[in-house]
Each structure stands twice: as structure tokens, then as C-alpha cells.
Amino acid sequence: MIESRETLQRAFERAFAGLRQGREASVPQLAPRDVGTITNVSNGIATVAGLPGVGFEELLLFPRGVSGIAFNIDDDEVGVVLLGEHWQVNAGDDVERTGRVMDVAVGDELLGRVVDPLGRPLDGGAPLDARERLPIERPAAAIMDRDPVTVPLQTGIKVIDALIPIGRGQRELILGDRQTGKTAIAIDTILNQRGKDVLCVYCAIGQRASVIAKAVAMLQQKGAMDYTVVVVAEGNDPPGLAYIAPYAATSIAEHFMERGRDVLIVYDDLTHHARAYRELSLLLRRPPGREAFPGDIFYIHSRLLERATHLRAELGGGSLTALPVIETEAQNISAYIPTNLISITDGQIYLSPVLFQLGVLPAVDVGMSVSRVGGKAQRAPYRAVAGDLKLAYAQFEELETFARFGARLDEANRKTIAHGRRIRACLQQPEFAPVAVPEQIALLLALTAGLFDDVPLERMTPAEMAVREAAAEIPPDVARRLDEADALSAADRAAIVDIARQALTGIPRAADRPGSSTEPGKVAGEKA
């Protein structure tokens, strides 16, 4: 009896020892996972409960590959902006924290690609295997890390390069009513960067897919995709995606800038961005302000555009030039979003629907457009003529209004009008046809020397082509000086004007036809 009890006890002891060993050997694998639950989903917004430690703008993961950004953080609830297929998530689904903010793939792999703001390819190509990622929201360069804007960014558009010059690192707003050629100016500027060592990022926000496809096809056809990244948030994407698109595109551009490259970024357009942010804010029940936009819309855009800059040489000397686009309604540039952006940027290019209808293309309204820093970066030969040109053009525009009422004009005024019409004709150009610097300077010098004044208006196109072709004859040493900081010497100017005069000898001359000064529509009807 006693013996059997001892055996039993030993058996128990062995069993317990085994259990104890097993318990000590196993180390519990504890991985903290903050998981909350969706309590409510509406258009692109989810409300999540049970995530007390979540940070502002933290990335959250939803089921079925949808992600979101924590936007409204309350005591017991988080308002989340959804970024993927938001119809795939339901109330009751789990939500997981990631502990990091939203980031995007950056690097050379992106050149030539069309991606969405999350870095997913939209061009049917292979997924990106970029090694580097950057947060989409990054602080702008500090004041002491910036250098003044000194190098011109040639757009290839005559009226802009001559009268509203843009410098590398500048922010120049393009604004105008719908269908006035805003996108055309941005795309032309990208096309003109071919062979100029400038990388481009085109960020399309809220546009129709067909319009974007057309722009990408044009970039491909002209060989501009080699140095361009296209970031797209389409019109039917959730508002969250439209909201992050410009920030993601800027991070992609900054990566190049921080490696010492000159980069151009186009936001086409920020009106759609502002609307997406307004939609999100209203859905998040933030109080609406002027024009129903949330109070922080100014900050939203200024913190985006502050990231455009020219870094100082010790930091590589790269630059980021920003061309934000804004659509106005009925030419009202004093609406909330346009005035905000005018005050944030370093100047604006205003496109007038009136000029567009008259066929003056590009429809840049020179009087309403300004470049606040680009003038210092402008090439000296332009600077030498820009002042005269602007003055002559402004005088012409004023007189033209008078002439429209059939006022009798004296000889001097008739001359001013004739000269002004030649300037306007010379500054017109079709889209997707950027003009090289020597050709532009030959044209402008010929124009200010009055060589075109007795060319009949209907012959302005062949006359202009003749001068542009003759620009190839500019002696190489003079052509080299066109790129230098110094103003052209009188001899160089005379040499170029002579070449233009020679080129124009083949063009038949005639005096301005009598009465033409009272027909303002006539110039406009002509395509130069």
C-alpha cells in the first residue's frame, strides 16, 4: 500500500516537473497590436473607436488592403480619411495602427512612370521596387538653407520668358477660367526642359482620365517622359487620395532636389485639391468658413508651396520650381482660393478668356501677370528688351480700347498701335511648340528695333519664321554670350539685328492698311 503510494507520488512529481520545465522553456511571444473597430463609414471617411494612442496623420490599415490617415483625434474616436477602395470596408471591421506616417516610394525608378499618390503604377507597367521611401509631409527647407533664385527656368513660351520670367526655385501661379490653356502652358514648360537637365513631376489632381491620358500621350510623343514622373489622382478617386496627391508628388520631387538636381513640379490643379479638402473637412464635421472652405485651407496650400525652393550650394544647390494651377470662375481672381494662392506664390500668369476667344494664344494677360523674383534670374539679353516691350505693349492695349470706339488717332498713336499689334502677333505661338533661346532673342531684338512694323499683319507668321530660322546664323561666340550673365554689347545686338534684317528682306512690305486700326478683331482673328 505504502509502496504504491510512493510510486504514485513519484509519478506525480515527475509529471509536475515535466510541466514546470515545459512552462519555463516556453517564452510567450507577445507582440502588441493596437486594433480598433470601425463604427461608421461614409464617403471616404471612417470613424474608428478603440485606438486611444493613435497619432495625428498616422497611417492606419484596414481590411482588404485599404489604408487611411488619422485626421480627427478625439477622446474616444478617430476620424480617418480613407485612401483606397473605401467601399470595401464595413462598420465592425478591425483597424490596425502602424506607428508611422504615410510615405511614398521615391527615386530614379519613378522617371517615365505614371503612378497614383500611393506609388501604385497606373501605366500597366511592373510594380515599383524603389528602395527608398519618404514621408509625404515633410518640413520645408529652413531659411538659412535657401539661396536666392538666380538661374532662369526657360518655358519656351515667348511671352512668359520675355515678360513674366520664371527662375529655378520660384513658385509661379497659373490661373484662369476653365479652358483657357492653363494645362497647355504647364505641359509646354515640361516639353521645353528636354536636354536642359531639369527633372519634372506632373501632378494631376481631380481631372478627367481622358484629359490626363492626352497629356501623358503628348509627353511620351515628345520624348519628355524620360525625365518626367506623372502622379495622378483622378476625378473619381476618393477625396483622400486627391488630398495627399500634391504632397506625395512633392516628396518625389524633393528626393531629386536633395541630390542636387533642378526639378519642376506642376500641380494641375489646386482648385480640385481645395475642393477635396473641403469635402473631407465637411464630412469630418469641421466648421466651414469662407466659401464653405475649412479655416486651415491657407495653411494647407502654403505648407505645400513652401517646399519649393533653391537650396544653398553646401546642400547640393538643387532647386524645386512649382507651377500651381488654379481655375477661376467668371474671371473672379478675388475669390478665396485664388487670392490665397496669389499671396502664397511669387507671381502669377493670368490667362484671359477674352483673349482666348479672340484667338490670342497663349491667352496670357500681360497686364495682370507678374513675376516677383524671376526678373533677377532672367537672361540679360531679355532684360535689355523686356522693359521697352512691356511699356510699348501696355500703351498699345490702352490705345486699342480707344480705337475700338472709332476715335480718330494721330500719327504717333497709329504707330504705337501698329507696333503693339506686331508685338502681340510675335508673342503668339501654338501649343507644344517651345521656342529656343537664340530664336526668342533674335525675335525680340528685331521687334524692339521696329523691323516688323512695316510687315503686313497677315505676313507676320512667315516673317517670324524667317527670323527664327536666321537665328541659326548667329555667330557661335555671340550665341555663347546669350547664356551669360552680362548684357549684350552694342556690337552683338547690332549683329543679331542685322541677321534679322537680312532674313526679312524676302518678306513683302506694305503700309498698315487704312482703317485697320479701328478693327480690333482683325489682329485677333489671325493666328500668328
Q: How far apart are the first and last CA of the chain?
A: 120
State which residue, 44 or 176, has the beta carbon closest to ligand ATP.
Answer: 176
Using rule CB under 5 A, residue 183 touches Mg ion: yes
CB of 131 to ligand ATP, least distance (A): 36
Among Mg ion, ligand ATP, none, residue 179 binds (CB under 5-8 Å by kind): ligand ATP
Sequence-distant (6+) residues with CB within 8 A of 205 are 233, 242, 245, 246, 267, 268, 269, 270, 272, 273, 276
C-alpha of 320 from chain center: 10
C-alpha cell at 187: 505641359
Asked if 373 and 347 touch (Cβ cutoff 8 Å), the reply is: yes
Among Mg ion, ligand ATP, none, residue 173 binds (CB under 5-8 Å by kind): none
Among Mg ion, ligand ATP, none, residue 184 binds (CB under 5-8 Å by kind): ligand ATP
State which residue, 202 or 256, has the beta carbon closest to Mg ion.
Answer: 202
CB of 271 to ligand ATP, least distance (A): 9
d(CA 516, CA 528): 17
Among Mg ion, ligand ATP, none, residue 324 binds (CB under 5-8 Å by kind): none
Closest CA to 95 of 135, 64, 136: 64
CB of 294 to ligand ATP, least distance (A): 24
Closest CA to 371 of 389, 385, 353, 350: 350
Among ligand ATP, Mg ion, none, residue 219 binds (CB under 5-8 Å by kind): none
Among Mg ion, ligand ATP, none, residue 206 binds (CB under 5-8 Å by kind): none
Cα-based distances in Å from 279 to 44, 148, 276: 9, 37, 5
33 is catalytic: no
Name residue 490's beta-bridge partners: none
Using rule CB under 5 A, residue 189 touches Mg ion: no
Q: Which of 312, 372, 414, 459 is catalytic?
A: 372
State which residue, 183 or 428, has the beta carbon closest to Mg ion.
Answer: 183
CB of 362 to ligand ATP, least distance (A): 4
CB of 268 to Mg ion, least distance (A): 6
**269 upstream amide cis, omega within 30 of 0:** yes
Identity at 394, one-letter amino acid code: A
Name residue 72's beta-bridge partners: 79
Greatest CA separation found in the chain?
A: 140
State which residue, 176 or 375, has the beta carbon closest to Mg ion.
Answer: 176
Contact window for Mg ion (CB under 5 A) among 55-63, 179-187, 258-266, 480-488: 179-187
CB of 184 to ligand ATP, least distance (A): 3
State which residue, 182 or 278, has the beta carbon closest to ligand ATP.
Answer: 182
State which residue, 255 or 272, has the beta carbon closest to ligand ATP.
Answer: 272
Using rule CB under 5 A, residue 517 touches Mg ion: no
The one-character DSSP state at 265 is: E
Place of cell 513631376: 201
Using rule CB under 5 A, residue 180 touches Mg ion: no
State which residue, 138 or 214, has the beta carbon closest to Mg ion.
Answer: 214
Place of cell 478668356: 353
d(CA 178, CA 232): 20
Interface residues with ligand ATP (CB under 6 A) are 176, 178-184, 327, 361-362, 430-431
* Closest residue to bound Mg ion by CB: 183
Using rule CB under 5 A, residue 328 touches Mg ion: no
d(CA 528, CA 70): 53
CB of 366 to Mg ion, least distance (A): 21
The one-character DSSP state at 483 is: T
Q: Is 339 left (phi over 0), alpha (psi -120 to 50) or beta?
A: alpha
Catalytic residue list: 372
- The site for Mg ion (CB under 5 A) is made up of 183
